[in-house]
Amino acid sequence: MKLVFLGPPGAGKGTLAVKATVLLKAPHISTGNIFREAIAAGSPLGVKVKAIIDAGKLVDDGTTIELTRERLGQGDVKDSFILDGFPRTIAQAEALAGFSNIDRVINFDVPDSVVIERLSGRLVCRKCGFNWHKTFNPPEKAGVCGKCGGEIYTREDDRAEAVKKRLDIYREQTAPLIGYYREKGLLTDIDARPQVDAIL
């Protein structure tokens, strides 16, 4: 099964993908995670994208398409994958159609107020990537991941200014993909207001 998870930042795509990847035995590909790993490693890609990501803007289509094309060319994702955070523009969706078929696009439907509440309290483990939340799911020991003992931090792009920017960009550049995929008969809407534990 080849799936795309589509939705605004903070909709719960990544959290649901971590669960779905085990159930469906489909590798989870998050372009955001790939960029963050590149930044942490200080690779040329990481150096190139750090300021863009911290500001909540989109990395250019050329770089993102090439990275995803390369990842989808690997053997483990020949029959199944969950793409989380790609495509984010019509140009990316058109490029994707040229190098992979997609079975279904899951559209995470959630209002801005919920997104802002989730992102402003989100805490991420630097080591295992698990998402905690200051109010809804706080770690037992402040600053320490209860899953792996790693350090917990607030993503630079979860700060208020960057969140606003990301939502604006989502509306302008990513939301048109809802109509694009609905027209192709590929879209399934889910109500992403409940916490992920209540969905899957």
Find the shortest distance in angstroms from Cβ 88 to ligand AMP: 4
Token pair for 55: 């500001």
Task: Tell me which residue of 85, 37, 54 sits closest to 163, measured CA to CA.
Answer: 54
Residue 85 in contact with ligand AMP, rule: CB under 6 A:
yes
Q: Which two tokens stand for residue 141?
A: 């020991």
Q: CB of residue 168 vs ligand AMP: minimum separation in angstroms?
A: 12
In angstroms, the CA 61 to CA 51 distance is: 16
Q: Are 98 and 87 in contact (CB under 8 A)?
A: no
Q: In b/e form, how buried is each residue of 15-29, taking b as 16+ CB within 10 angstroms?
A: bbbbebbeeeebebb
Is residue 27 within 8 A of residue 76, CB to CB? The reply is yes
Task: Extract the tokens encoding 138.
Answer: 């706080």
- Selected binder of ligand AMP within 5, 35, 130, 170 (CB under 6 A): 35
Give 9 or 12: the residue with its C-beta nearer to ligand AMP: 9
Closest contact distance (angstroms) between CB of 36 and ligand AMP is: 7
Q: Count the neighbouring beta carbons within 10 Å of the beta carbon of residue 40.
A: 11
Contact region with ligand AMP (CB under 6 A), list: 28-36, 38-46, 97-105, 133-141? 28-36
User: Residue 86 interacts with ligand AMP (CB under 6 A)?
Assistant: yes
Residue 108, interface with ligand AMP (CB under 6 A)? no
Residues within window 124-163 making contact with ligand AMP, judged by CB under 6 A: 157
Among 24, 45, 59, 114, binds ligand AMP (CB under 6 A): 59
- Is residue 166 near ligand AMP by the rule CB under 6 A? yes
Binding-site ranges for ligand AMP (CB under 6 A): 9, 31-32, 35, 52-53, 56-59, 64, 85-86, 88, 92, 157, 166
